[in-house]
Structure 1
């Protein structure tokens, strides 16, 4: 489902209130705990990692919904990961497979990764 208008971005991206809740209601308390019990450097590393992950997720998720031929969709990593998002949106699989939208690491670890068969691959016995 490619982006056709600016309205589509409202459905595609996390709403600002959710971002404020995540960083204000979750990341800030965790920062204080990490700073108090581990170190300020670990706390800042947590916040930097959370922001980097959020931006990475939003960029990749947006790239998967760009129209065919868009420069963002032509990037090698985006092209390789796009199949994961397409499988994630498949109604036959979405309740049991491919829960990770951006990277398949979690699905690989938990055994929920489903790779569509390559059309060139001969069928089994």
Structure 2
């Protein structure tokens, strides 16, 4: 399920959605589903609102970094002068979620990994 529309993005950021919004919203919604273990209850307005805000925040974040870093998953090593980076390609999308998006999901308990009674 895609959790945010172009209008949601505009309401959230005050900016017009980018031309590739549908692709980004689909990508980020899938990340949200994975991170929440598909526990977003479609009948819970708080869950839906948190997912929508998380998707909008993440898209805004990715656009602020020009979506370039998001495409560098397979980099295993990169060095320029004293700068070095190493993306192990471990598939941990959790590291890709910006802090604001993470907070929206966390505040609704959607990232909880403990035991329930």
User: TM bucket by the smaller chain?
Assistant: under 0.3
Kindly indicate which of the two structures has a greater share of residues assigned to helix: 1
Higher relative contact order (CA 8 A, sep 6+): 2
Kindly indicate which of the two structures has a greater share of residues assigned to strand: 2
